[in-house]
Amino acid sequence: MGASAAGLAAVETLRREGYDGTLTMIGAETHAPYDRPPLSKQILASEWEHDRLALRSSGDLDALDLDLRLGTAATGLDLEGRAVVLADGTRAAYDGLIVATGVRPRRLPGEGDAHVLRTLDDALALRDRLAEGRRLVVVGAGFLGAEAAAVARGLGAEVTLLEPAPVPLGHAVGNEVGRVLAAAHLEHGVDLRTGVGVAAVTEAGVRLADGELVEADEVLVAIGSLPNTEWLAESGLTVGDGVVCDEYCEAVWGPPGRRLGESTRPGTSPAGSTRCSGCRCASSTVRTPPSRVWPSPATSSARRRASRSLRCHTSGPTSTT
């Protein structure tokens, strides 16, 4: 499940390792796998059109011989029946399952509309609203918020960048570099405000924690992400801040308390395993009862080799069956 970078890497790895059976890759978005980092830069700035984002050509995807189903989200997982329940009411049967459904943006409470920046459609929607003199408030001065603020300012928008920490990106690059980045924003006319909290999005802009209203024509919320694991809630898999896995990146299945590993979310990893560098997706293989059948029921070495390869290639929000 998942048709972005990790899902694509998974099916390519399986084919490269010699798996010649049926591969189904299912994704909630209608777009074929594409590169996400340019969304907050080249796409938002209108320097690129979306056709430049494709991770693989249509010919490359055809060569993988996939049952590719786009625009279809998962709503449940039947482990005993070995099937993924889809939003259109159908079920996708499997012998082995890879969960690579990625993350979604965190949102703020309130009655006003706010943009997020996760998908191509998100980026195009925000791009259409940015113009000379438009007032944009960006909540969150992490990498995504800072990039979007810089692009919007370059397009002539009046930008206010709100950050609860005293130094933007200090946690990621250190306070010294964070102060240099803050100075760059100020020099380019961004109204950067640090040490402020946002309580809600309103129809007129955003309401700060101290009650002040910061008016805006558009609001972009860039305050992190949550794993897309709701569809697994009743499955029997152990789900925390992501899918709980064992040392081979296989999802924990069984009675409560049967914990074989830690969350695959960034910053944590199963003991003794290699953590996905920069991984921001809940991505794992599912060990289905009563036996492990992926990628080969005959050899555990093939399973471990493919699992290691998948961990190394899992980098970004995604989807596969």
> In the 8-state DSSP scheme, what is residue 276?
P
How far is 178 from 140, CA to CA, in rounded Å? 14
Same CATH fold assignment for domains 5-104+226-313 and 120-223: yes
Give start and end residues of each alpha helix (H) in 3-142. Answer: 5-16, 58-63, 120-129
Q: Where are the domains of the chain?
A: 5-104+226-313, 120-223
**Which has the closest alpha carbon to 281: 315, 235, 246, 309?**
315
Are 294 and 301 in contact by the 8 Å Cβ rule? The answer is: no
Mention every residue, 6+ apart, whose C-beta is less than 8 A from residue 147.
Answer: 40, 41
Q: Does 279 score more than 70 pLDDT?
A: no
CATH of domain 120-223: 3.50.50.60
H or E stretch at 106: none
**Which has the closest alpha carbon to 10: 228, 283, 297, 241?**
283
Q: Does 10 score more than 50 pLDDT?
A: yes
**Residue the block writes with tokens 């801040």:** 241
How far is 114 from 149, CA to CA, in rounded Å? 15
* Predicted local distance difference test score (pLDDT) of residue 288: 39
How far is 45 from 37, CA to CA, in rounded Å? 13
Task: Band the pLDDT of 241: cuts 50, 70, 90.
Answer: confident
Are 162 and 139 in contact by the 8 Å Cβ rule? The answer is: yes
Q: What is the pLDDT of residues 102-143, one digit of tens each?
A: 999 999 999 889 999 999 999 999 999 999 999 999 999 999
Tell me the two tokens of residue 286.
């599912």
* Predicted local distance difference test score (pLDDT) of residue 254: 61
Tell me the two tokens of residue 277.
């560098």
How far is 100 from 150, CA to CA, in rounded Å? 31
Are 177 and 212 in contact by the 8 Å Cβ rule? The answer is: no
H or E stretch at 1: none
Q: Does 217 score more than 90 pLDDT?
A: yes
Give me the mean pLDDT over the 307-312 stretch.
36
* Predicted local distance difference test score (pLDDT) of residue 251: 85
Q: Residue 320: beta bridge partners?
A: 25
How far is 181 from 166, CA to CA, in rounded Å? 13
**Residue the block writes with tokens 């996760």:** 118
Q: Does 260 score more than 80 pLDDT?
A: no
Are 199 and 207 in contact by the 8 Å Cβ rule? The answer is: yes
* Predicted local distance difference test score (pLDDT) of residue 275: 24
Task: Band the pLDDT of 4: cuts 50, 70, 90.
Answer: very high
> In the 8-state DSSP scheme, what is residue 212?
-
CATH 1.10.3720.10 fits 5-104+226-313, yes or no: no
Give me the mean pLDDT over the 236-261 stretch.
73
